[in-house]
Amino acid sequence: MESKRQQKFAGVIQQDLAAIFQREGLNLLPNTLITITKVRVTPDLAIARVFLSFFNISDTKLALNTIKAHASEIRYKLGARIKDQARIIPQLEFFVDDTSEYVERMDKIFDKISREERQPDTE
C-alpha cells in the first residue's frame, strides 16, 4: 500500500516524464509513441519504477533497451524539472506495461468462447 506522499511524488514524476518523452521521445525512438502508464515509488522515494507502453513499434524489448540505455540522460532531464520539488532525484527503472496486450488476449478468448456452440444441460 502506497502512502499519499508516494502517490503524489509518483504523479509528479509521471507528468514530468510524460513531458520529457513527448518532447524528446522521437529522438530516442522515431515514429513511436511512448506512454507512461504507471509510476511506483519506493517508500524512501529513491527508486521510481516506470511502466511504459509503446505504440507503432514491433519490437518492444528493443524499445525498452533503448530507453534503459538513455536512463541517466532521462534522469538528468527529470532532475532539471523537479529540482525544486524533490530533495533527491530517484533512480529510474523502466518496465513494459503489457496491460493492453493482456486485455486484447482476454477479449479474443471471450469472443472465441461466445462463438462456440452451447452444450445442452443434461440433468
pLDDT tens for 77-91 read: 999 999 998 889 999
Q: Which residue has the cell 536512463?
A: 71
Does residue 29 sit within a domain? Answer: yes
- Return the HEC string of the chain: CCCHHHHHHHHHHHHHHHHHHHHHHHHHCCCCEEEEEEEEECCCCCEEEEEEEEECCCCHHHHHHHHHHCHHHHHHHHHHHHCCCCCCCCEEEEEECCHHHHHHHHHHHHHHHHHCCCCCCCC
Q: 64 by DSSP, 3-state: which?
A: helix
**Phi, psi torsion values for 48, nearest 5 degrees:** -115, 125
Which structural domain range is residue 79 located in? 4-115
Percent over 70 (pLDDT), the chain: 94
**Across 95-102, average pLDDT:** 82
- Is the pTM here over 0.85, yes or no? no
Task: Return the SS3 of 96.
Answer: strand
In a domain, 60, yes or no: yes
State how many domains the chain has: 1
Asked, for residue 121, whether it belongs to a domain, the answer is no
Which residue did the predictor score with more confidence, 69 or 27?
Answer: 69
In a domain, 72, yes or no: yes
Residue 122 in domain? no
Ramachandran bin of 60, using left for φ above 0, alpha for ψ from -120 to 50, beta for the remaining angles: alpha
Query: 103 lies in a domain?
Result: yes
Residue 105: CATH number of its domain: 3.30.300.20
In a domain, residue 120? The reply is: no
For residue 10, tell me if it sits in a domain.
yes
